[in-house]
Homo-oligomer: A and B are copies of this chain.
Amino acid sequence: MTDDDLVFKALADPTRRFLLDLLFQRDGRTLTELESELEMTRFGVMKHLRVLEDAGLVIARRSGREKLHFLNPIPIQLLHDRWIGKYRERYASALANLKNELEDMA
């Protein structure tokens, strides 16, 4: 499985995107803290965090008996650079074409 695929798959679940949002608001939270924001058992949240870690979207650091979770925006940046960007360019050129057609009609 390629890196991009891990990231795309990780982003495919709404609970995981919500976790990213939580960490976006405030970093360095523990598992129990994140769990308290979700209607789900600790184990479910743990599994999701695992997927996010494997994709590199979350980086965790042990501190005593706690595990602190941090957001890593770099995979999303890379995804954008080598995949999403080109489709946005097409969107832009599509808009430009439409603009030209409208002007030709006038």
Contacts and interface: CB of A to CB of B under 8 A. Distances in A.
What is the count of identical protomers in the complex? Answer: 2
Interface string A10-21: 011010010010
B86 A74 contact: no
A17 B79 CA distance: 13
Interface in A6-43: 8-9, 11-12, 14, 17, 20, 24
Contacts of A71: 87, 90
A46 interface: no
Contact of A76 (B2, B74, B91): B91
Given A77-B87, A79-B84, A84-B84, 6 more contacts: A8-B17, A71-B90, A73-B88, A76-B87, A77-B88, A80-B80
Interface of A: 2, 5, 8-9, 11-12, 14, 17, 20, 24, 71, 73-74, 76-77, 79-80, 83-84, 86-88, 90-91, 94
